[in-house]
Amino acid sequence: MHWWFPSDASSVGGRVDSLFYVVLYLTGAVFVLVESALLIFLVKYRRREGRRASYVEGSTRAEIIWTAIPAVILVSLALFSQPLWSKIKDADRYPPDAKRLGVEAKQFEWHFTYPGPDGKLGTDDDFMKKNELHLVVNRDYVMELTSRDVVHDFFIPAFRIKQDAVPGMHILVWVRPTVTGTYELACAELCGLGHYRMRAVVLVQTPGEYAAWLQSQGVTVSSADTTATAGKGAS
Amino acid sequence: MTAHAEAVAHAAHDDRPFIRKYVFSTDHKIIGIQFLFLSLFFLLVGGLLAMGIRWQLGFPGQPMPLGGWLPQSVAPGGVIAPKTYNSLVTMHGTFMIFFAVMPLLVGVFANYLIPLKIGAPDMAFPRLNMWSFWLMIPSGALMLTSLLVLGGSSVSGWTVYAPLSATPDYSGVHLGQQLWCISIVIFGLSSLLGSVNYITTVVNLRAPGMTWFRLPLSIWALFITAVLAILAVPILAGAVIMLLFDQTIGTHFFQVDVGGQPLMWQHLFWFFGHPEVYILILPAMGISSDIIANGARKPIFGYHSMIYAMIAIAFLGFIVWGHHMFQSGMNPTLASGFMVSTIVIAVPSAIKVFNWLGTLWRGSIHFTVPMLNALAFVAMFIIGGLSGIFMALTPVDMYIHGTYFIVAHIHYVLFGGSLFAVFAGIYFWFPKMFGRQMSQRWGMVHFVLTFIFYNLTFFPMHILGVGGEMRRIYDPTVYDFLRPLQPINVFITISAFLLGASQLVFAVNFLWSVFRGEKTELNPWRDNGLEWTTPSPPPHGNFAETPRVYRGPYEYSVPGMTEDFLPVNLPPAAGEAA
């Protein structure tokens, strides 16, 4: 049975999961403590003959304690998670040598644009694949994410990555897949009638497999590197 | 009892015609009861729509029981169509938030309780108050009509994100979305008229001696809520009018190819939407506080810090909206700022929980039906609050945003929190409203069933969310990674049906008790509030003579007294400080 996180296949997945577990253990402990206190009070202070409630209006010391402790814990938690967030979402910190890909969402398809033989995105020899994202394992990618019509959301659960695709905006998304395999890309923002079937496959391949795929698309590549060097773009 | 006799005599002089007394009434009590029936009706509508959603998620593609009765365009062969599913999701959220929970908390309890609890004969603006209710009728009727028009109702979620909602080219919905917009604008007007009234009444019509720091927490909560509504609802109305213009007169506020900005919709919507979340929880906190102090027979722990915590929540509530938009394409540095403000708002919520625990500590807890519901509110709000911390942290939110984890969270706050408090409030003030008691035994049955099936329905949704299941998808089995989670969906669906069926107990108990319930005594909960010093139901004008208030509302189990409660209007005995 697989009733928990999908297996983690990206460079940031482990860190996202760890942060999740930090919060889970922390909130789990608070949950157990507070709910048990509640239950204990309900049993211990239930109405009984001959016992009266104590007339207590409050305690300034208690208020200070239970304001300060959660405040310190919570704010530290926010500060603690800030670096990971910047690493994942701040485009200025992305690896400069990352491969560029284009991702355009439209109702209800994903269009991926790969650089052609010149290795550059945005030139005439680029080629496009529908609903099929091929990536080389352990390589950095920066994708230019946009939408042709409404707001969509680029969600690869195995990579723990999620980013809205907004018409008129070109948002940069960084991923570095670390495990080869076939994964799913889902649209995670209600985008219309076919929202539920706006699905793409993500193939994380070895450099060899990737080169073979490129070749099957009619793009010639050098064997040392999977960077496309010659040939013409496939459709 | 002379006060009682005088009040009855006063009531006998009430010779308004039936239509002014019970239909177009300016009496806050009648208006509160009108809101009660209207919003319980919409709670039923919203609940039935949820049953449709659950059927499709549990048994995708199978004909729904009674689905054959629906038109072929909606459910071909009894199977819910994808567009119908999106419509169900949208309208469930819309009805529950705008037409069920918000009027239940604000329309019912603010109207009914504010004048009675502060010792006023009525609201400051009774006619505005009447309009506030009667505007809800066209608003609700238009929203219901939108389900029936050609092209169907809005399908863009209760958040109606533009540009999906802004043009039929993308959504396939013409009239339905426009009706949604018009209905919400009218709803906004109703809400504003009500809020103006609540604020003015609390500021101006408090009885002699009812100082600000003698107000019950329910009144404080409703007052702060009204302030939130008056600041937030106009933003919603403005945004919705812009959206309506985009569809009808050719403006392009949200359409990018002609210079619009889709993210602007999200900013405007959530600038309203997050305060709205607190509009939906603060009254629940106030109602529960009153009932918990009464049930524990103890003063509320930290009365002042409870008030300051609510004020802090209200203030911070206006600077956290960006946490709905962490993954929207908003600048990541801005998102970090919103993460900090969001995390900080958890602190006053925690203070409130600790103070409720403090109130129970060394109390003498009576497990009445309203008390059980109020305690369930606290227990469930703890879960909803804690699960919010996951979303507050931007990197964790990146994974669980838009999944069932969020659906679980919102339902732990809005159902586990707000609705349990609503049930608590209805059971508690029903005798005041109708002069009769609801059956406590059936109330107990309803509470136990609801509590169990509620948790069986919504807790497993956290697991679905961690598994990555997206919300608002018609058929999760399209995805390989979601198929193993399907047994959980089946389990949730069955629990949801049982949860829905359990509400029949409440419906029958409620309707039966209105007519046949046991007559209530003057002060059945032995409460300190002013509302229990006048007959039930109170006559027109509420009090035979203006009451005078001598102390705060939570003087329970005062040492040296035989009774364990001390009504706020009881003149102080010799030696007691007034």
Q: Is B454 exposed, middle or buried (0-12, 13-18, 19+ CB in 10 A)?
A: buried
Q: How far is CA A120 from the centre of its chain?
A: 26
Closest CA to B326 of A21, A164, A156: A164
pLDDT along chain B (578 residues), means of 10: 50 73 92 97 97 97 90 92 96 97 96 97 96 97 95 94 93 95 98 97 97 98 97 97 95 90 96 96 98 97 97 96 96 95 96 97 97 98 97 96 97 96 98 96 98 98 97 96 96 98 97 95 95 94 94 94 93 68
Q: Which tokens hold the place of A99? A: 């491969």
- Looking at the complex, does the CB of residue B298 fall below 8 Å from at least one CB of chain A? yes
CB B240 within 8 A of CB B184: yes
* Number of domains chain A contains: 2
Closest CA to B548 of B300, B214, B298, B223: B214
Q: How many residues are there in chain A?
A: 235
Which residues of chain B from 84 to 103 reach within 8 Å of chain A, CB to CB? Answer: 86, 89
Helix axes B111-118, B420-434, angle to 10 degrees: 60
- Looking at the complex, does the CB of residue B355 fall below 8 Å from at least one CB of chain A? yes
Q: Do B361 and A63 touch (CB under 8 A)?
A: no
List CB contacts (< 8 A) between B559 and chain A. Answer: 55
Question: How far is residue B239's CA from residue B234's CA, in Å, rounded to a whole number?
Answer: 8
Given the structure tokens 């999106």, which residue do they identify?
B86
Whether residue A222 sits in one domain with residue A146: yes
CB B77 within 8 A of CB B146: no
Q: Give the model's pLDDT for residue A90.
A: 95
Q: Torsions phi, psi of A150, nearest 5?
A: -110, -175
**A40 occurs within a structural domain:** yes
Whether residue A105 sits in one domain with residue A213: yes
Q: Give the model's pLDDT for residue A120.
A: 87
Question: How far is residue A46's CA from residue A233's CA, in Å, rounded to a whole number?
Answer: 77
CB B362 within 8 A of CB B412: no
Tell me the pLDDT tens digit for each residue of A102-127: 999 999 999 999 998 888 898 888 99
Beta bridge partners of A127: A114
| Beta-strand runs (E) in B57-169 | none
Question: How far is residue B281's CA from residue B275's CA, in Å, rounded to a whole number?
Answer: 10
CB B551 within 8 A of CB B450: no
User: What torsion, rounded to 10 degrees, do the Cα atoms B121, B123, B124, B126 define?
Assistant: -110
- Looking at the complex, does the CB of residue A55 fall below 8 Å from at least one CB of chain B? yes
**A2 occurs within a structural domain:** no
Residue B570 zone, left/alpha/beta (φ > 0; ψ -120 to 50; rest): beta
Residue-averaged pLDDT of chain A: 91
Q: What is this structure's pTM?
A: 0.94
**A8 occurs within a structural domain:** no
Whether residue A152 sits in one domain with residue A36: no
Question: How far is residue B566's CA from residue B578's CA, in Å, rounded to a whole number?
Answer: 13
CB A110 within 8 A of CB A201: no
B481, B488, B558: best mutation site toward chain A, by most A Cβ within 10 Å?
B481
Question: How far is residue B521's CA from residue B542's CA, in Å, rounded to a whole number?
Answer: 17
Q: Which tokens hold the place of A96? A: 């400069």
Q: Taking 50 as the threshold, does the pLDDT of residue A225 lie above it?
A: no
Q: Give the model's pLDDT for residue B411.
A: 97
CB B277 within 8 A of CB B345: no
Whether residue A71 sits in one domain with residue A183: no
Q: Taking 90 as the threshold, does the pLDDT of residue A77 lie above it?
A: yes
Task: Provide the CATH topology of domain B21-533.
Answer: Cytochrome C Oxidase; Chain A (1.20.210)
Closest CA to B146 of B83, B66, B87: B87
DSSP letter at B44 equals H
CB B164 within 8 A of CB A192: yes
Q: Is A24 helix (H, G, I), strand (E, B) or coil?
A: helix
Q: In terms of DSSP H, where are the helices of B401-439?
A: 404-413, 420-434
Question: How far is residue A103's CA from residue A96's CA, in Å, rounded to a whole number?
Answer: 19
- Looking at the complex, does the CB of residue B564 fall below 8 Å from at least one CB of chain A? yes
Q: For residue A52, give the chain B residue with the closest CA.
A: B364
CB B569 within 8 A of CB B578: no
Distance (Å) of CA B228 to CA A13, B277, B344, B345, B403: 39, 10, 19, 15, 28
Q: Give the model's pLDDT for residue B76.
A: 92
Question: How far is residue A171's CA from residue A90's CA, in Å, rounded to a whole number?
Answer: 10
Whether residue A148 sits in one domain with residue A123: yes
Q: How far is CA A75 from the centre of its chain?
A: 23
List CB contacts (< 8 A) between A105 and chain B. Answer: none
Q: Do B361 and A56 touch (CB under 8 A)?
A: yes
Q: Give the model's pLDDT for residue B13.
A: 60
Q: Do A1 and B488 touch (CB under 8 A)?
A: no
Given the structure tokens 């409030």, which residue do they identify?
B425
Whether residue A124 sits in one domain with residue A226: yes
CB count in 10 Å sphere of residue B459: 16
Stated as kind and residue range, the H or E segment containing A100 is strand A99-106
Q: For residue A157, give the chain B residue with the closest CA.
A: B468
Q: Which tokens hold the place of B244? A: 């309506």
List CB contacts (< 8 A) between A190 and chain B. Answer: 86, 89, 156-157, 161, 164, 472
Q: Vertex B33, ends B29 and B34: CA angle to 5°?
A: 115
Minimum distance, in Å, between the CA of residue A52 and any CA atom of chain B: 6
Question: How far is residue A196's CA from residue B416's CA, in Å, rounded to a whole number?
Answer: 28
Whether residue A197 sits in one domain with residue A119: yes
Domain ranges in chain B are 21-533
Q: Do A58 and B301 touch (CB under 8 A)?
A: yes
Residue B331 zone, left/alpha/beta (φ > 0; ψ -120 to 50; rest): beta
**A106 occurs within a structural domain:** yes
Whether residue A153 sits in one domain with residue A219: yes
* Cα torsion A178, A179, A180, A185: sign: negative
Q: Do A188 and B386 touch (CB under 8 A)?
A: no
- Looking at the complex, does the CB of residue B304 fall below 8 Å from at least one CB of chain A? yes
**Number of C-alpha atoms within 13 angstroms, CB side, residue B218?**
34
Q: Torsions phi, psi of B126, nearest 5?
A: -60, -35
Q: Which of B89, B375, B466 sits opposite A4 (nearest CB)?
A: B466
What own/partner pairs with CB < 8 Å and gap ≥ 24 does B12-16 have?
A: B14/B539, B14/B540, B16/B540
- Looking at the complex, does the CB of residue B151 fall below 8 Å from at least one CB of chain A? no
For the beta sheet containing A161-165, the strands, ordered from the edge strand earlier in sequence to the opposite edge, are A132-136, A199-205, A181-187, A152-156, A161-165
Distance (Å) of CA B206 to CA A45, B28, B203, B222: 35, 15, 7, 14
Q: Which of B353, B355, B366 sits opposite A34 (nearest CB)?
A: B353
Whether residue A140 sits in one domain with residue A82: no
Which residues of chain B from 154 to 173 reach within 8 Å of chain A, CB to CB? Answer: 155-157, 161, 163-164, 170-172
Q: For residue A159, give the chain B residue with the closest CA.
A: B399
**A203 occurs within a structural domain:** yes
Question: How far is residue A22's CA from residue A18's CA, in Å, rounded to a whole number?
Answer: 6
Which residues of chain A from 23 to 52 reach within 8 Å of chain B, CB to CB? Answer: 23-24, 26-27, 30-31, 34-35, 37-38, 41-42, 45-48, 51-52
**A4 occurs within a structural domain:** no
Q: In terms of DSSP H, where are the helices of B150-204?
A: 168-171, 175-204
Residue-number span of the structural domain to which A30 is assigned? 13-48+56-89
Q: Is A36 exposed, middle or buried (0-12, 13-18, 19+ CB in 10 A)?
A: exposed
Whether residue A168 sits in one domain with residue A74: no
Q: Do A30 and B559 touch (CB under 8 A)?
A: no
Question: How far is residue B52's CA from residue B243's CA, in Å, rounded to a whole number?
Answer: 28
Q: Give the model's pLDDT for residue B14.
A: 67
Whether residue A83 sits in one domain with residue A146: no
- Residue A187: pLDDT band (50, 70, 90) is very high
Q: Is A143 exposed, middle or buried (0-12, 13-18, 19+ CB in 10 A)?
A: buried
Whether residue A208 sits in one domain with residue A109: yes
Question: How far is residue B13's CA from residue B540's CA, in Å, rounded to a whole number?
Answer: 9
Q: Taking 80 as the threshold, does the pLDDT of residue A159 lie above it?
A: yes
DSSP string for A182-232: EEEEEE-S--STTGGG-EEEEEEE-HHHHHHHHHHTTEEE-SS--SEEEE-
User: Of A70, A89, A108, which residue constitutes the final position of a domain?
Assistant: A89
CATH code, domain with A125: 2.60.40.420
Q: Taking 50 as the threshold, does the pLDDT of residue A56 lie above it?
A: yes
The reply to whether omega before A108 is within 30° of 0 (cis) is yes
